[in-house]
Amino acid sequence: MQKLDLSKIREYGNLDFLSKQLVEGFITGLHKSPFHGFSVEFAEHRLYNSGESTRHIDWKVFGKTDKLFVKRFEEETNLRCHLLLDVSSSMYYPIKNNGKLSFSTLAAGTLANMLQRQRDAVSLVTFSDKIETHTECKSTTTHIMKIYHELEKVLNRKQTLQKTSVVETLHEIADKIHTRSLVVIFSDMFENMDDMEKIFSAMQHLKHNKHEVLLFHVTDKKTELDFDFDERPYEFIDLESGEKVKIQPSQVKEKYIAVLEDFHHELKIKCGQYKIDYIEVDIEQGFDQILSSFLAKRAKMR
């Protein structure tokens, strides 16, 4: 499992380098893959589909893995992927390391790196209460470097009070994307918790337009889901409104957990109903969860 001190990401700098290291570490760790012990880029292989010609099977890989892989070629249809990154104020939690935002930014960078290796086209969308950045969808090295530059700007920006508008963003993106694509969302989904239908009407807009949707629901599980705080007075601050409340954790813990569990349960159920891939992501669990889920989704779209 690949972990990185989220508070150190800004110090390391060079998102391109960090993303490359995370992807290469992930590839090295894949068990029984055609890439283990090879210097080949994994973009050059795909799983063999029963019934197709055996002409391009890589028999050397078969000898090492006992699995059939086919060499890919430039003319094969590549993926178009749109990375949607929530940059609203709640994503700066935990404040000590801007945890959810730092994690999601680097996770988006690792996917951009992986997409480039597979010669896929990628765009970046950042949004809060409105779309802030929307790049073109390309696969060139220059374009990928532009995406890294935009992500580094996100990492270095100052926190301001900005609400989330997942609903409006998804409707707008659905109207703008005209070619079947994979839409990957990084968000804590702290919007319209009392009206899930609005969120899913927006996601259904994407599905209606034949896009595939992969939602990474980003959380700091220990405090946001388990409400694991020491029993002492705290001042809790709503990062999107600035509202403050002073309480002991035990005063609200039971009710808070019940509400969050209901919200997460409904989110999972609705995603299943709409055939949206839902991945609950704990920022303390590293980046392999992102990369493996993405590869599984991409394989289904071939």
Q: Are residues 61 and 170 in the same domain?
A: no
**What is the rounded distance in angstroms from the CA atom of residue 55 to the CA atom of residue 221?**
48
Q: Which of 71, 95, 125 is the last residue of a domain?
A: 71
Q: Are residues 164 and 40 in the same domain?
A: no
Residue 37, pLDDT score: 40
Q: Are residues 122 and 51 in the same domain?
A: no
Contacts 24+ apart (CB under 8 A), 140-143: 141/116
Q: Are residues 278 and 252 in the same domain?
A: yes
Q: Which of 40, 55, 71 is the last residue of a domain?
A: 71
Residue 6, pLDDT score: 65
Q: Are residues 52 and 186 in the same domain?
A: no
Instruction: State the CB neighbour count (10 A cutoff) for residue 51.
Output: 5
Residue 134, pLDDT score: 94
> Could you list the pLDDT tens digit for every one of the 302 residues in the chain?
556 666 666 666 677 878 888 888 877 766 445 444 433 344 456 677 777 777 777 787 778 787 787 766 543 447 899 999 999 988 998 888 888 999 999 999 999 998 988 888 999 999 988 899 999 999 899 999 999 999 999 988 876 767 777 888 889 998 988 888 999 999 998 776 666 788 888 888 888 888 899 999 999 999 888 988 888 887 887 766 677 888 888 888 899 899 889 888 888 898 898 889 999 999 988 888 898 888 888 777 76
Domain that includes residue 41, residue range: 31-71
Q: Are residues 166 and 37 in the same domain?
A: no
Is 279 within the bounds of a domain? yes
DSSP 138: B
Q: Are residues 273 and 237 in the same domain?
A: yes
DSSP string over 280-291: EEETTS-SHHHH
Q: Are residues 112 and 250 in the same domain?
A: yes
* Pairing of the two strands 244-247 and 182-187: unpaired
Q: Which of 41, 71, 101 is the last residue of a domain?
A: 71
Number of domains in the chain: 2
Is 1 within the bounds of a domain? no
**What is the rounded distance in angstroms from the CA atom of residue 104 to the CA atom of residue 210?**
25
Q: Are residues 262 and 132 in the same domain?
A: yes
CA dihedral 50, 54, 58, 62 (to 10 degrees): 50
**Stated pTM of the model:** 0.79
Q: Are residues 190 and 46 in the same domain?
A: no
CATH of the domain at 171: 3.40.50.410
Q: Are residues 114 and 190 in the same domain?
A: yes
Residue 239, pLDDT score: 65
Q: Are residues 41 and 172 in the same domain?
A: no
Name the nearest CA neighbour of 102 among 180, 7, 203. Answer: 7
Residue 9, pLDDT score: 65
The gap between the terminal CA atoms of the chain, to the nearest Å, is: 27
Is 176 within the bounds of a domain? yes
Is 179 within the bounds of a domain? yes
**What is the rounded distance in angstroms from the CA atom of residue 106 to the CA atom of residue 286?**
11
